[in-house]
Amino acid sequence: MKAFIINKYSKNSRLELVDMPVPEVKDNDVLVDVYASGLNFLDSKIKAGEFKLILPYKLPLILGHDVAGIITKVGKNVKKFKVGDEIYARPSDFRIGTFAAFIAIDEKDVALKPKNLSMEEAASIPLVALTAWQVLVERAQIKEGDKVFIQAGSGGVGTIAIQLAKHLGAKVATTASIKSSELLKELGADLIIDYKNEDFEKRLSNYDVVLNSQDKKTLEKSINILKSGGKLISISGPPTPDFAKEIGAPWYVKKILSLISAGIRKKARNRNIDYSFLFMRAQGEQLSKITALIESGIIKPVMDKIFPFEELNEALSYVESGRTKGKVVVKMK
């Protein structure tokens, strides 16, 4: 099968299109004929080696964390799915590889594709929607009337997180450029701050939750807009010792993460803010709940561009440019 791989970690290298064997189907796996695959900053960060401490992958590695396709084979223990089912998924860590013609995925990470979405639209959803769900529903436990600040509203996570937060009854503020403001109003944002000309720290106060996806400076400023007891949840780091414990990392990784997150954890503690790092995980049941929200029209995918599979390197460069609105997808079929 055709697949895009990396042979070494490098920020500037291109993915290599090669022939690889079709993955082995284990007892709990489904084999998926890939129709479309979503691209994420995570792919770029793994390619650059930024996560090799917490995700020690063996190379060569097929990248890709989002897939929509059709099941062509099932393992002997599979109960929920059958050959011919249209599905979508974010495969679990160490089982990634959606930039390929086929991928084998554990059935617990898979959900039926929303009936009202195309394959390309469905492929744009899993990683960003699961991230939004795990931040807002699982960890922040957003309730009616909460004030939530979602950074980078026009990005992949932002566009879904705004819709989900509004569905949960929150008041939502976000940052974006002027040209994205109409889109974000349509998604439900109550307050849109032009990050090029305005300082969110001067506009916002007494917030319950911040979803941080930006740099260290933005992370530190976010503490100042939260009320005492508020939650600062970062998906861009720095990771914490609690996260190291969650993933069962070795003691030395826990020590390193303790050191690199010490500053922000202390600043948060001093203001009675709960700081945590979230690295989203594959979760088929949560994705099924997201499917229900999509089929009822509560959450809509926001697509930027669709590239042919052969132009995956160009698609990844476009994602890395930071100019995208919503998601970028490559189409196999």
Q: φ and ψ at 72, to 5 degrees?
A: -110, -10
What is the average pLDDT across 46-54?
94
Query: CB of 58 within 8 A of CB of 93?
Result: no
The residues pairing with 10 across neighbouring beta strands, listed in sequence order, are: none
Helices (H), 81-213: 119-123, 126-133, 156-167, 181-187, 200-203
Which tops the pLDDT comparison, 212 or 322? 212
| pLDDT value at 333 more than 90 | no
What is the average pLDDT across 52-65?
95
What is the average pLDDT across 237-262?
96
Q: H or E segment at 228?
A: strand 226-234
Q: What is the DSSP string of 20-55?
A: -PPPP--TTEEEEEEEEEEE-HHHHHHHTTTTTTTS
Instruction: Compute the mean pLDDT over every residue in the chain, rounded to the nearest whole number.
Output: 97
CB count in 10 Å sphere of residue 11: 11
Query: Looking up tokens 């100042």, which residue turns up?
Result: 224
Which domains are seen in the chain, by residue range?
A: 2-125+303-331 (3.90.180.10), 127-277 (3.40.50.720)
| pLDDT value at 323 more than 90 | no
Separation CA 8–CA 75 (nearest Å):
32
| pLDDT value at 211 more than 90 | yes
What is the average pLDDT across 140-145?
98
| pLDDT value at 262 more than 90 | yes
Q: Give, in order, the Cα–Cα distances in Å from 223 to each of 22, 74, 200, 262, 276.
A: 47, 48, 12, 15, 12
Q: What is the pLDDT of residues 266-322, one digit of tens each?
A: 999 999 999 999 999 999 999 999 999 999 999 999 999 999 999 999 999 999 998
Quick one: pLDDT at residue 322? 86
Token pair in block for residue 209: 């939750």
Amino acid 300 reads K
Quick one: pLDDT at residue 24? 97
Separation CA 328–CA 322 (nearest Å):
11
Q: What is the pLDDT of residues 69-125, one digit of tens each?
A: 999 999 999 999 999 999 999 999 999 999 999 999 999 999 999 999 999 999 999
